[in-house]
Each structure stands twice: as C-alpha cells, then as structure tokens.
Amino acid sequence: SQQGEEDPQALSIQEGENATMNCSYKTSINNLQWYRQNSGRGLVHLILIRSNEREKHSGRLRVTLDTSKKSSSLLITASRAADTASYFCATINSGGSNYKLTFGKGTLLTVNP
C-alpha cells in the first residue's frame, strides 16, 4: 500500500516561479525522502529529512517536515525548464526491522519556458 500521497498530482508553472509540492503520510516514519524522475528515466535522490528535523535546504530545494500533521513539502525556487519531472516523496516507517522505502503517487511538475 502507498504510504505517501502527493498534492497536487500535476502542477504547471512558468520558468522563474516557485513550485511547491506536498506529501502526506499515514504512519510514523523515521525519515522522508524526495526523489525526482524525468520521463522514462530512473529516480534521482534529492533530499532526506529525518523525523527529528523540521526543515532542510539543498541548493534551490527546501523541504519541510511536520510530523504532527504527518506532512512534508518540497519547494523548488526559481524553477527552470529542466526541473520538469515527476517528484515523489518516499517514507521508511519507524519500528520493526523491515526498512521498506514506500513511494507516494507523485506530482508531475511542468515548467514552461
């Protein structure tokens, strides 16, 4: 079953604008990761945020995590056409010994030049 649910499912913006994608999950997690996937390609790891962290930055990416609301957001600032891709959040549940990375349904981001 899918753990994360991204919102929106699709997002279209103009180059230079900021893009915000949200992810909600259902059970307690140890960490949450964001991945990017260009059409028909493999997944590229973007950022990992641990459950005891609230915010993390990497270049033009900003990720927040609110464990009380079981939600995370990915902000891409000053977007570029090359940012066009699907973005997935993925979680690893806390507890137990089966560390399975479970993906949400993804947000398809289109950045128009």
Partner 1 sequence: DTEVTQTPKHLVMGMTNKKSLKCEQHMGHRAMYWYKQKAKKPPELMFVYSYEKLSINESVPSRFSPECPNSSLLNLHLHALQPEDSALYLCASSQGWTVGNTIYFGEGSWLTVV
Q: Minimum CB separation from partner 1 for residue 37, in Å?
A: 9
Dmax (CA) of the chain: 46
Q: Which residue bears the tokens 């990375």? A: 101
Question: Are 30 and 93 in contact, with CB atoms under 8 Å apart?
Answer: yes
Question: Are 72 and 55 in contact, with CB atoms under 8 Å apart?
Answer: no
Q: Is 31 in the site for partner 1 (CB under 8 A)?
A: yes
Q: Is 28 in the site for partner 1 (CB under 8 A)?
A: no
Q: Is 25 in the site for partner 1 (CB under 8 A)?
A: no
Q: Minimum CB separation from partner 1 for residue 22, in Å?
A: 16
Q: What is the x/- site pattern for partner 1, positions 70-89, by CB under 8 A?
A: ------------------x-
Q: Report how far apart the first and last C-alpha atoms of the chain are (Å, whole number).
A: 36
* Ranges of H-type helices in the chain: none
Interface residue with partner 1, options 26, 50, 54, 80 (CB under 8 A):
50
Q: Is 2 in the site for partner 1 (CB under 8 A)?
A: yes
The whole-angstrom separation of Cα 25 and Cα 16 is: 29
Interface residues with partner 1 (CB under 8 A)?
A: 2, 30-31, 33, 35, 40-45, 48, 50, 88, 92, 94, 98-106
